[in-house]
Amino acid sequence: MKKIILTVAAVFAFGFANAQEATSDNGGQTAKGNLLIEANTGFAETGSTGIYFASQDGNSSYNFGVDGGYFIMDDLALKVGLGYGGFKNDDFDSNTLSYKIGAKYYVMSKFPVGLDLTGASIKDADENPLWLGIQGGYALFLGKNVAIEPGIRYNHSLNDNYTDKGVFQVNVGFSLFF
């Protein structure tokens, strides 16, 4: 599994190093100097900065979060994110503060590829989770400032004591460009 993560990271770094400034055919949303604000769907298993709510059999969980970024060059944004959520049932009540730091590169100004570190601080937990995540998708630009970005994501756990498995996600992102 570590070889897969290292290979993906190497491909991402190679793509970044060989990126050429491209003329954006999407209206310049991903141009150097622009800001990015996005909200994504997600779920709690990965300490999400996404938005979700779930309730089943007396268990409920929720999260509200947002990511923001700045394009340091055409098509490449450095990002940070914060999320707040919780889990509640008759026997247990816990709150979580999630954080994310990473980068997002738009290949050909249309295909977002991201690499980030996501963590969570869980109230009263002995250990807090940390993940290395990679994602890819497609940016459907609806105008000058708005895009919908469906995609897939893989999160690899960096704490063997918390969880030793990777987590796949299917997300839909809603992005604003300024």
Mean pLDDT score, 127-155 = 91
Strand partners, 115: 103, 134
* Position 175 pLDDT exceeds 80: yes
Residue-wise pLDDT tens digits, 28-52: 899 999 999 998 886 545 556 778 7
Is-contact 117 102, C-beta < 8 A? yes
Q: Which residue has the higher pLDDT, 16 or 118?
A: 118
Confidence of residue 25 (pLDDT cuts 50, 70, 90): low
Residue-wise pLDDT tens digits, 50-93: 787 878 888 888 888 899 999 999 999 999 999 888 877 777 77
Rounded to an integer, what distance in angstroms lies between the CA atom of residue 79 and that of residue 119? 14
How high is the pLDDT of residue 61? 80
Q: Could you identify the residue written with the tokens 């940070």?
A: 80
How many CA atoms are closer than 13 Å to the CA of 39, on its beta-carbon side? 7
Across 11-145, the runs of DSSP E, i.e. the strands, are 35-40, 52-56, 59-73, 76-88, 93-107, 111-122, 130-137, 140-141
Q: Which domains are present in the chain?
A: 31-177 (2.40.160.20)
CA distance readout (Å), 54 to 19, 27, 38, 44, 88: 40, 37, 21, 10, 11
* Residue 126 CB contacts under 8 Å (≥ 6 apart), including other chains: none
